[in-house]
Chain A
Amino acid sequence: MKQKDFSGRRVLGVTALGAALALVLAGCSAGGAEQTASEPFTGEYAGPEVELSYWNGFTGGDGPFMETMVAEFNAEHDNIKVVSNTMQWIDFYQRLPAAVTAGEGPDVGVMHLDQLATNAARNVIVPIDDLTEELGLTSDDFTKDVWDAGVYKDARYGIPLDVHSLAMYYNTEHFAAAGITEAPTDAASLQDALVKLQAAGYETPFWMPTRWPSHLMNLSVLWQNGGEPYGDDGATFDSAAGVEALEWQRSLVDDGYSPSDVAIDSQYVAFKNGETSITWDGIWQINDLVESGLAYAVAPIPTIGETDAVWANSHNFFLPRQSNADQNKVNASKVFIAWMSEQSAEWAGSGMIPARQSVRDGGALKGLPQEAIAGTIDSMRFLPPIPGIGQVQAETLEIAVADGVQGTTTPSEALKKAADSATQLMDDNKASFGG
């Protein structure tokens, strides 16, 4: 987290300088003459009719909202036709580099914030600083963390569409039966709620997953404990903050609030079936729960540690590198991104929180379930923009958390071993990505 060392003002300065530099230097970077996004963006597209291929991974309850927005965009723009190609995120991140390398990439796309640095380092996506200037987008309209995380090597690669964090879902019928009137907000009130739920006959009120999203719960509590998962010299998730977080996760199993060895996804299925009372999951599950007809409510995750913090991620628009760029398509893609960013109020219907403060202030979230979560936007924490971090985390932290929750290894031992390995992998990445 390099930007953590700077004050906000300096980060802005660095970003602006970086933007100017990027305009000048873009041609000299790895992409060479292939770079296209450095051409000044005019803000409008008046050229001949173009068809844009638009890749995204909105396969869940968010998909229909994106389709509607794309259809509206197409209706408003006579000379631009956006054709979206939706696939599972896991396939998306495998296919995009392959397609771009083969010169068959899309014209525009959406990816997660924590993947931007990786794909920038792989030269899959190109800087879009001119677009933010033209749109007049600055960090003022975004949360600092989400805005800064889209910068890699002083150039901006993503325009945030939304933010989405973990949240606490709870079964309101169970809570009423147990006589709990308010959602737990800290360790003590959570403990109190668990005791009451057990007393009311809900034997295992809070299932602790071993796999996804267990490591996100771990990261959230680690941040709450004042820790950082990754530093300049490698992984630090084995710090006391991280160990305490994992020990807390394991204690829920040891204390009998969760069954042991919870398999992937089954905590969520159990929650939907009313077998467990509390679960932590992403806010993108809201529409799925609404559809299921379950009596549920959503609240920010309780603060188990000292400070409010919660893991979050963000969907970002990007422009892929093109082997032979059609400037018309590039400009049309920018028009598309600008339009989507401005219309992001509608995107709130998907369960996400629009990234732009102005859109949120415009009442986009009024009456929506995630309104309560949007209030915690300043405590949302994002993974730092380190290339390759996603894969490193999948190979190390995720497995260590699983081992710790299952109790096959002690939390400190599991995290220590994983962090050593993660640091080694990060060094390897530094070497192959050139720092």
Chain B
Amino acid sequence: MSTKVGERALPPGRARRPSASEPESQKKRGVRAGTRQQGIATPWLFLTPYLLLFGSFVILPAVLGVWISFHSWDYTLPNKPFVGLDNYVALFSPGSTVFGPFWGSMRATGIFTVLSVPLLLIVPLAVALLMSKKFPGRDFLRAIYFAPYVLGVAVISVLWRYLLDNNIGLVNHYLGLLGLPDDTAWTTTTPAAWVALVGVTVWWTLGFNAVIYLAGLQDIPTELYEAARVDGAGPWMQFLHVTIPGLKPILSFITIITLLASANMFGQSYLMTQGGPGRETRTAIYQIADTGLRNFQMGSAAAMSYVLTVFLMAISAFVFYIFREKQPRKLKKEARS
């Protein structure tokens, strides 16, 4: 995950979206005499600062990106001819120069996401469960687990590139001392490179997910555990029937942000493996950055971005569907029984 999750991705919490409350306030205006009259513009005025930023840094670039993707757009050249859907067509024509690299990079992104997301959901949960227990040195350990996340992607990548080097690195050296195979090429061959990239990413970002899990765990009322104990539930049953359902809202949030962050992986493979061996660990964002920023093929890069966006939107919708659908069905079942 090269892009760290910033504030904008933090849990929506219980705050209601201001825009949703707008028609409501209008309805109520006539009814409640006590509330002060407010103009139609008032909510919009409050929204202005956000909308300005959102408009100029999200909406505008997104629309401009679509426009760019219909052109052969090299900003250093005076003419940027309109090419219609050519950039998209090239992405889907097996003979073109962009087809192989692009779908190879999508495949790499897919492999990384499939390998890293489950680990980033399970390992931090285990850590959070451990850290929610009371024991001496707990706060210190919490800090230790979170510490790598504070480092930048450049720092952790360069660090691990040397530690994992197959010929001069410490990891293979110690594996050798333990009598294990010491000639694994962690950064220059697959599948070892995937193990390295996923492992480093899990080590780096598990602290973030663990902190969110911890917050979620602390929100589960202790009475539920007490009730479960009274009913004779052991630790495993408590985990299954109290902890997991209690974490459900947070789980969907963590799944989505972990998915998106993994799908946006760039820095680790750029710095640790240089996309190698060959192009095998070159991710979609890597390919897009290379095409657009180094080769100045902005049109093609924009088209790639939109194909990736469509994929990510579909996957996110699927995840939402899974987490939304289950609850009502369960309720129905319970109601029936």
Chain A interface residues (CB < 8 Å from chain B):
30, 93-94, 97-98, 100-101, 122-124, 207, 210-211, 259-264, 266, 269-270, 273, 275, 388, 391, 394-395, 399, 402-403, 406, 408, 421, 424-425, 428, 432-433
Contacts and interface: CB of A to CB of B under 8 A. Distances in A.
A248 to B, nearest CB: 20
Q: Which 4 A-B pairs have the closest CB atoms?
A: A261-B185, A122-B76, A261-B188, A97-B76
A101 B78 CA distance: 10
Contacts of B294: 93-94, 391, 394
Interface string B58-100: 0000000000000010111110000000000000000001001
Nearest to A427: B97
B278 interface: yes
A77 B5 CA distance: 51
B75 A266 contact: no
Contacts of B101: 395
A388 B290 CA distance: 14
Interface string B291-308: 001111000000000000
Contact of B97 (A123, A408, A424): A424
B274 A122 contact: no
B167 interface: yes
B97 A266 contact: no
Nearest to B295: A391
Interface residues of B, number: 28
B177 interface: no
16 contacts: A97-B75, A97-B76, A98-B75, A101-B75, A101-B76, A259-B167, A261-B166, A261-B185, A262-B188, A263-B188, A264-B276, A266-B167, A270-B167, A273-B168, A394-B294, A402-B276
B167 A428 contact: no
Nearest to A260: B185
B100 to A, nearest CB: 8
A74 B271 CA distance: 38
B330 to A, nearest CB: 50
A421 B276 contact: no
A402 B279 CA distance: 10
B279 A399 contact: yes
A433 B296 CA distance: 12
Given A97-B296, A421-B97, A432 B72 contact: yes
B287 to A, nearest CB: 10
Nearest to B300: A428
A408 B168 contact: no
B188 A406 contact: yes
B76 A402 contact: no
Contacts of B276: 210-211, 264, 402
A211 B274 contact: yes
Nearest to A428: B97
Interface string B88-127: 0000000001001100000000000000000000000000
Contacts of B185: 260-261, 263
B221 interface: no
Given A261-B166, A408-B278, A123 B188 contact: no
A270 B279 contact: no
A399 B168 contact: no
B189 interface: yes
Contacts of A406: 188-189, 277-278
A379 B262 CA distance: 49
A123 B77 contact: yes
Given A122-B74, A210-B188, 4 more contacts: A122-B76, A261-B188, A264-B161, A432-B74
Interface string B194-218: 0000000000000000000000000
Contacts, number: 86
Contacts of B279: 399
B268 interface: no
Contacts of B290: 395
B273 to A, nearest CB: 8
Contact of B167 (A211, A263, A403, A432): A263
A388 B189 CA distance: 30
Given A97-B296, A211-B276, A391-B295, A263 B78 contact: no
A266 B187 CA distance: 11
A433 B72 CA distance: 12
Interface string B168-189: 1000000000000000010111
A425 B290 CA distance: 14
A269 B167 CA distance: 10
B77 A263 contact: no
A260 B166 CA distance: 9
Contact of B161 (A262, A263, A391, A428): A263
A206 B240 CA distance: 58
Interface string B273-288: 0101111000000000
A393 to B, nearest CB: 12
Contacts of B277: 210, 261, 402-403, 406, 408
B189 A261 contact: yes
Given A101-B75, A408-B278, A262 B295 contact: no
Contacts of A122: 74, 76-77, 296
Contact of A275 (B100, B168, B278, B293): B168
A399 B77 contact: no
Contacts of B77: 122-123, 432-433
B182 to A, nearest CB: 12
Contacts of B76: 97, 100-101, 122-124
| Interface core residue of A210, A261, A433 (most chain B CB under 10 Å) | A261
Nearest to B96: A424
A244 to B, nearest CB: 21
Nearest to B296: A97
Contacts of A123: 76-78
B123 to A, nearest CB: 27
Contacts of A424: 97
B292 to A, nearest CB: 10
Nearest to A388: B295
B97 A403 contact: no
A405 to B, nearest CB: 10
A430 to B, nearest CB: 13
Contact of A269 (B168, B187, B189, B293): B168
A269 B169 CA distance: 11
Q: Interface centre among B76, B78, B167, B185, by most A CB within 10 Å?
A: B167
B281 to A, nearest CB: 12
Nearest to B293: A94
Contact of B278 (A30, A94, A100, A402): A402
B97 A30 contact: no
Contacts of B166: 259, 261-263, 266
